[in-house]
Amino acid sequence: MSASAGPPPGRRALHTRACELFGVRYPIVQTGMGWVAGARLTAATSAAGGLGIIASATMTCAELERAIREVKARTDNPFGVNLRADQPDIDDRITLLIREGVRVASFAQAPRRETIARLKDAGVVTMPTVGARRHAEKVAEWGVDAVIAQGAEGGGHTGSVPTSLLLPQVVDAVDIPVLGAGGFTDGRGLVAALAWGADGIAMGTRFLLTRESTVPELIKQIYLSKTVNDTVVTKAIDGYPQRVIRTEVVDELERSSVLTRLPRAVRNALAFRRLTRTSYRDLLREGLAMKRNQDLTWSQLVMAANAPMLIRATLVDGRPEVGILPTGQGIGVIEDLPSVAELIERIMAEAGRVLATLTG
């Protein structure tokens, strides 16, 4: 091959528009998992060449500021912060991201047009997660820079369309970089996502099960013991479809009525308020914003406020008997706890081998 011919096709394919947009080496994103994606995991991902994302929804603004500065102390590489668009202090958080030079702002739900415009004006990449083609079209029209398209195999809140059908639909609908999420764990999955037209993959559960993840070892071993059939999508936690590991706690929630779940939900919602130092006034404002933006009933609203404490019980406190375990269906094919650097290098090496085989 002549010097002017450029790098091999496989190497070119693995350096995508997402790499250019985020300023990273590899098209791999570690998603902003609440209670999991703190400074340590985020910094490890970005240092290894991917895009790490801090989960800020379970942090106060002051805690987020400390996490951002800790990541910056650990690596000079770009990273992101995941935000909830309906938080009362969202404007303060965006000011913080802009001031600290955070590269990417990701959102689990669509941010407002004015939020997108403010971030773009400051040079911050805006990337919401979508679960339907029409949602991708809407946020692309509003000016977002990229989207994560999460299929039904994904963990936490998820839709009903499999990744293999959703991802090509979204790619065809928009002309911005698309990251595939839901069921991705290895290099073969990365190549599959590229074949569907995506610019990379975003993974949550696979990064939860790494050595830098702060999830207690007991909980990690529970995850590793499960098969692809040991998860369930339930509305009993907060009224929205959410994929979790099937446990006695989840079964109990599904058997109970809304009326019997509500008292427990109220207690946990108030506990979360104390933990995040949210005033009753801000709690009410946040609740009204969630109710308006997500069209929730009052009972759904209380359950939504309850969910963070159920997740914290397992992922932070290590108490599976009282909490829930969000997970992607890919849990059934994960068998080890590598370091983040080992995981990313393994994925990229496997993707390179697969591409080399396909291209001869």
Q: What is the pLDDT along the chain (360 residues), one digit of tens a residue?
A: 334 444 455 667 899 999 999 999 999 999 999 999 999 999 999 999 999 999 999 899 999 999 999 999 999 999 999 999 988 899 999 999 999 999 999 999 899 999 999 999 999 999 999 999 999 999 999 999 999 999 999 998 899 999 999 999 999 999 999 999 999 999 999 999 999 999 999 999 999 999 999 999 999 999 999 999 999 999 887 778 999 999 988 888 787 665 555 566 556 555 545 554 555 555 555 555 554 555 555 555 556 666 777 888 899 999 888 788 999 999 999 999 999 999 999 999 999 999 999 998
Give the Cα separation of 119 and 106 in Å (integer).
11
Whole-number Cα distances in Å, 120 to 24, 97, 100: 19, 12, 15
Task: Find the helix packing angle between 340-359 and 187-195, rounded to 10°.
Answer: 50
3-state DSSP of 27-71: CEEECCCCCCCCHHHHHHHHHCCCEEEEECCCCCHHHHHHHHHHH
Question: SS3 for 204?
Answer: coil
Residues in the chain: 360
What are the structure tokens assigned to 216, written together? 């207690």
Give the Cα separation of 200 and 254 in Å (integer).
36
Alpha helices (H) in 130-276, listed in sequence order:
133-142, 163-173, 187-195, 205-208, 217-224, 248-255, 258-275
- Lookup result for tokens 């639909």: 169
Question: SS3 for 271?
Answer: helix
What pTM did the predictor assign?
0.88
Domains identified in the chain and CATH numbers:
3-214+335-359 (3.20.20.70), 227-326 (no CATH)
Residues 6+ apart with CB under 8 A from 107: 82, 83, 84, 85, 126, 127, 128, 129
- Lookup result for tokens 């591409």: 355
Partner residues linked to 127 by β-bridges: 106
3-state DSSP of 99-134: HHCCCEEEECCCCCHHHHHHHHHCCCEEEEEECCHH
DSSP string for 272-326: HHHHTT--HHHHHHHHHHHHHHHT--HHHHHHHHHHHHHHHHHHTT--TTTS--B
Q: Which of 202, 183, 214 is nearest to 31 (CA)?
A: 202
Q: How far apart are the first and last CA of the chain?
A: 15
pLDDT for the residue 41: 98
